[in-house]
Chains A and B, each alone.
Chain A
């Protein structure tokens, strides 16, 4: 059959596939009694039959290419026997399909006769049936914890905030995309050495010398106009473009916090000798002495100049006002590399070397005005007060009388050659400043020729109380200023409504820790941003472990003024550029290491009251029993305990140091396979029930990605867990730790890491910034979380009338006006044809591109693998890449079609590209393309025609929902059990999973179905 005929013959082939598929299902379901009636049993499955009838066929038609040496497409047929192993059943099924479809042997090779083809087909069907009837051998499993499981487990076991897992090599990724699959998780000496080092470090952090007083650093920086009565007299310089706040506006106080235990306060060093760096980047080598806390702690705005609307920051008597920090791409030569604007940070020389810290920000939402960039004044009649320049500039201030409380528009009238300076205004206690934009001729009310040339600019909207109000204004030297006009805006007016929305918005406060350098910000966020909703000052607390943040690693006696400077960043967070009341920062306080008690909780966790004993050996045994039981996620056995205890004994005998000996013994526990591995211990080759403890761990590492909690272990110890799987699954899903599952599973299943590595052409996709990418990557995760939390039907995964978005994501889809949720993801009815479901998540679509052009192959392969679980074969080696810039005018799709027509390419691409073509309306940034030459039309592998992605979504949500559900459950099951499925398990999900359709494939049903199936609860 030549190529042309083959394509011609497509409908025929499709029919064959359909029949083959139906046949397969039928034979799979056949029971023993029905079997004799099945024509498939006409061929015996004995080895004699295999040797006589089947093997010669393989030898004649297949083995030349698919042998040990030549393994074409990675396939070996020469190894097949009459009783194939489980893993070979997938191969048999594939052979059956390829032979049935006429794809194999290839057209140019010797072909089967019709009889031979049927013989082979029948034999495969019988053999699969027979194989499935045999019991698969079970032999338990030993998996090590993944890096993230290890991190979560260690943190929860020790109560440690710090992440010590950074030094572990990353986990391998399996074919299904998961990092927790036993066959990809190798162990190397490097890894084991890291476990030792991490455990040692962790125990050193947790266990303290309780007789030693902790040293605590605590200071506060207050901000506000002239709040420092004794400002530093030196001109401070901190590198190039240092942008420091004025010395009188900054006050640093070292404090002694109230603590329920004795400690030693840490006072920062103020005396330094430096040889260079103190005049910025210029090369000066001369020793100079410094002696002031203001050479050790700086209030820095480096990175802030050039705010597009208003000022990035403003110092007022009540503090520092910050506008949302606009992210900078930080690319040298293209943008500022000093961080976002406004970029406030405390730059300082010393922070604690280890432990947790706490940053407390006293902040409020500023009762702000909304700066205007509208064309013309809203109205010039009604409640209008005009304040002449004399009043505006009188000292100390003038007054204005406001008759009625309400929203006012402020218009500035000035002469035509008005200066470019900011216009700044004080109204009562509030201060506003901004550019005068869109100057328009002021309708003259006099015949004065000078006055008739005046211009007016709409400056701002502001809510004002009734009564007398202090006022002063400044615009350059004020010589061009004429008057300020207050126009009350009717509440029904569009501007008033805009203002009402504005004044209800709350800025988000973010705190960062990093270190100073000249290229790219190192500031790393401390926890999540917090919304500042009150206009009264409140305290916002941020906590972290100091070593989870960039550390300058600079030696103490470095002689450069700029070396080793650390930074505590405080920002009003930017989402999408919407107008936002400014964030007022009155003070920032730092305390670290932060302890609630002494010895700290991490210490008391181990040496807790229930184990304390005057006799060290008794105490040691109790500590080790309690700790090992928690670490091993089950009661420690007597033999195990003795082994661990003997470590303590030997150590104690040699050094006489109880604490050190406990550390030694715990180090052994933290490196024990019982801690590092998830062990399902199997006693016979027969399938056995998991031990209750094993089940508890399996469940919690599945749904929490961490160690089981007390309740799970209690249920296990009473052997009740197996009966409580429904309620426990619900409980685990409702727990905050479920987030650790969602992040991990969604990212890996949907290959979200692709977005991390795609290098976006920023000229074509300027909106796909680093920060937008971060949020877009979260979108599918949050979407899936919402589906599961709400227990929605699965069809939403491919087609939904809502998206789950925060302001950044919504704005990316031009739906920013639908939400006021800041960074919080929440469902939004999108009301758009091209949105809903994960297929149109921009983060996924952009990840499946090269950052420049859409790519139907990547997207098609993704759908085939992830959404309908019909993974294409791996591409054969040495396939030439399709070049984008080959000098032709063809679209990528046209080139792809040319490529597919080549011999050998069509076979695989037939199962990939049709899934990818409907995505052709979406560009590499994941949004709808504009312009001509867009062809999203596709004929799917089963012959269904879809006209675009909506067509594909509808088709998947209706016609192929069983397959989508199977794909979800297949991936879920793989992830849950940490390995690929056996053929039987695979077929079980495909066949039995369908029973969930009657209840619309609800998310909880599918999760519980996997958990309660043998593949999960047996070993």
Chain B
């Protein structure tokens, strides 16, 4: 029976503790880690919608969505910086959250990654699990950190003006990190003290799981003729948990892949130059993906309704008004300025895609093994339909790009389910999904 093997394996591990051997140790994590290319997900959110100027203003070429659909689309002026990645990305039109149209529009960032019925919440539960956390739940055993949750402002903001787009299984907001140095220290420079505590906790849990398992086994022997099915399920579950815990414990000993950090400016922060800040955050995500530290990232680039420091970024860029106020602009000048802020964001996203393209996995670029989603919870401000959405990367997961796909009134959750399925995460549904996207860029759903 497997148990003796399991115990032997543990004994061996104990013997190895403290010894640092890189590759053989990595192999200890199993084939899924060493031979299967990672499947990753990164969600990036921008608040207040995108510029879709009124036709009367005569600046259609500044519309975020391309004017024509299908493979022949042309980039607008505000998305032009993304054109080098034409075959690596697609515009997705017509998406919306059915619950979004019922709720206060300021909630659109709270529900962007969750699709939850925030207008009619279940008592005690005010959001539901976000897409990045579903991904994390299925990828965490293959990497060091289940997920990385980032935002322009640290913490969670508050309900209805959230500062994070990530929510855990219980629908609680996951506090975001915003400081490049802190992120770097935590991800790439795990300190000895916290590693020791982590190891201690894991070992305690493993011991207790073992004790539970021992007790269950001796009970199982006494069960005589009784139905064993439930007991079998129970013991299999315990085995599974134990192997996950031992996997986590093993990661502690495996050294991080050596990488070139010289590009990083860890003094960059959200109060400084916006472009410098985003560049460093994107570098950190790309490095974390490359080193397989995590496979799930959520990054809130800026916040809804004038909250937080990002509201001032357009002013810093010489666009004269705050982000929220630009998003409400109806006049030509205002809408142009808003579009120019979109242009700035497109430049940042293009930089990020470029970084992912440079890093290589065993079967291609990191970009080809990562599904990157960039979008907003409103098309123009306070209009939660036709959500601007860009999908990039993931060629090795069956994504066929280079198009402006559009299907009116398609639930956003269907896109999310398609992402999960492409990542081989066989969830039956996501939030209020009604199925996967048909005839879209996702060919392996």
Contact = CB atoms under 8 A, between A and B. Distances in A.
A684 B226 CA distance: 9
Contact of B124 (A517, A550, A770): A550
A284 to B, nearest CB: 9
A551 B125 CA distance: 9
A647 interface: yes
B435 interface: no
B87 interface: no
Nearest to B224: A683
B223 A142 contact: yes
B170 interface: yes
Contacts of B181: none
A515 B159 contact: yes
B124 A518 contact: no
Interface residues of A, number: 74
B234 A681 contact: no
A681 B161 contact: no
A196 B209 contact: yes
A166 B170 contact: yes
A478 interface: no
Given A332-B102, A519-B107, A519-B160, A139 B227 contact: yes
B128 to A, nearest CB: 12
B103 A281 contact: no
A549 B124 contact: yes
A365 to B, nearest CB: 28
A664 B207 CA distance: 10
Contacts of A679: 223, 226
A558 interface: yes
Interface stretch (A106-114, A299-307, A636-644, A952-960): A636-644
Contact of B154 (A166, A193, A555): A555
Interface string A191-205: 111001000000000
Interface stretch (B76-84, B115-123, B347-355): B115-123
A94 interface: no
Contacts of B106: 518-519
Nearest to A548: B124
Contacts of B308: 276
Contacts of B118: 519-520
Interface residues of B, number: 67
B161 A560 contact: yes
Contacts of A560: 157-158, 161, 307
A699 to B, nearest CB: 19
A515 B172 CA distance: 13
Interface stretch (B31-39, B214-222, B334-342, B399-407): B214-222
Contact of A554 (B155, B169, B244, B322): B155
Interface in B97-140: 102-107, 118-121, 123-126
A673 B107 CA distance: 43
Interface stretch (A81-89, A180-188, A222-230, A312-320): A180-188
Interface in A932-965: none
A561 to B, nearest CB: 10
Contacts of B264: none
Contacts of B155: 554-555, 557-558
B223 A283 contact: no
Interface string A128-161: 0000000000011111100000000000000000
A656 interface: no
A927 interface: no
Contacts of A332: 102-105, 119
B258 interface: no
A160 B229 CA distance: 32
Contacts of B234: 144, 187, 192, 673, 676-677
Contact of B119 (A143, A520, A548, A680): A520
Interface string B179-216: 00000000000000000000000001101110110111
Contacts of A646: 211
A813 B193 CA distance: 67
A237 to B, nearest CB: 16
19 contacts: A140-B225, A142-B223, A144-B230, A166-B170, A189-B237, A285-B312, A520-B121, A524-B124, A553-B156, A554-B157, A555-B156, A640-B215, A640-B219, A673-B216, A676-B234, A677-B234, A681-B226, A683-B224, A684-B225
Given A143-B230, A330-B120, A646-B211, 17 more contacts: A142-B227, A182-B227, A192-B241, A276-B308, A283-B305, A331-B102, A517-B126, A554-B155, A558-B157, A639-B218, A643-B215, A672-B212, A672-B216, A676-B234, A677-B231, A683-B224, A685-B225
Report, nearest first, the 5 A-B pairs whose CB atoms are least far apart.
A283-B306, A519-B104, A140-B226, A563-B158, A555-B155
